[in-house]
Amino acid sequence: MNILALESSAVSASAAVLADGELAAEEFVHTGLTHSETLAPLMARAIEKSGLQLFDMDLVAVTHGPGSFTGVRIGVALAKGVAQPMEIPCLGVSTLEAAAFGQNRQGELILACMDARRDQLYAAFFEGDKQAPKRLRDDAALSAEEAAKILMDYQRPAVVTGDGAPVFLSYLRKNNIDLPVYMPPGESYYQRASFTARAAEYEILHTGRTPVSPKFLAPVYLRMPQAERERKKRLERSKS
């Protein structure tokens, strides 16, 4: 199975090609440029480096949330745009599940989290298992305090991954909370398209999940966009 995978749910962006279970190519940037500028060129370079063509792809996978509203929309829109003309099936993957795939080690507790601003996180908990991380909790919008309390309940060392990892560890330091947690080194804690590809491959081959037509691919949000939340507040104030 050849999989084209896209990841643009946060500040970094990447594209990868998984060919018959092997990573054939991956392009990654963390520049601060908008994903509307970077993602399509990354995808084109990844396909070229893989030695394959777009029509060789059996699946287009994309992290469909949670994450940045704009980033998630850009990734989903590009996936739909490249898959629709050739009727390539698509699969949306949880950003947090994909992040957990990047740190999957047997028996290790994994906190996959993303920065949702103001000490808030999008978070999910997993346990490393043989082929894929085992989900312990659903994706949720949590405060850093709530995530810390959940880790305390597990009473186990944990790896914290995803772009929310520095936010969470900073919260622990500021509040003098001593938990046995660590971050992966360098940039390896960022979400990456290769993790998305691995998650998609596992879901199709081992869980029986069925890909969808590009037209049915859609973002998954855990909370309303900021503009909608502000509009709701104004409406509530006007009624009071």
- Residue-number span of the structural domain to which 74 is assigned: 2-95+191-234
Q: In the prediction, which pLDDT does 230 show?
A: 46
CATH number at residue 150: 3.30.420.200
Q: In the prediction, which pLDDT does 140 show?
A: 97
Q: In the prediction, which pLDDT does 227 show?
A: 43
Q: In the prediction, which pLDDT does 222 show?
A: 87
Q: In the prediction, which pLDDT does 33 show?
A: 76
Judgement on whether residues 102 and 83 belong to the same structural domain of the protein: no
Judgement on whether residues 195 and 91 belong to the same structural domain of the protein: yes
Judgement on whether residues 8 and 87 belong to the same structural domain of the protein: yes
CATH number at residue 229: 3.30.420.40
Judgement on whether residues 53 and 32 belong to the same structural domain of the protein: yes
Judgement on whether residues 212 and 201 belong to the same structural domain of the protein: yes
| Rounded average pLDDT per 10-residue block, the chain, 240 residues | 97 96 97 89 98 98 96 97 97 98 96 93 97 97 96 96 96 96 93 98 95 97 58 54
Judgement on whether residues 60 and 136 belong to the same structural domain of the protein: no
**Range list of β-strands (E), the chain:** 2-7, 13-19, 22-29, 59-65, 90-94, 109-115, 120-127, 134-135, 140-143, 158-161, 181-182
- 160 in a structural domain: yes
In tens, the pLDDT along 179-217 reads 999 999 988 999 999 999 999 999 999 999 999 999 999
Q: In the prediction, which pLDDT does 127 show?
A: 98
The tally of domains found in the chain comes to 2
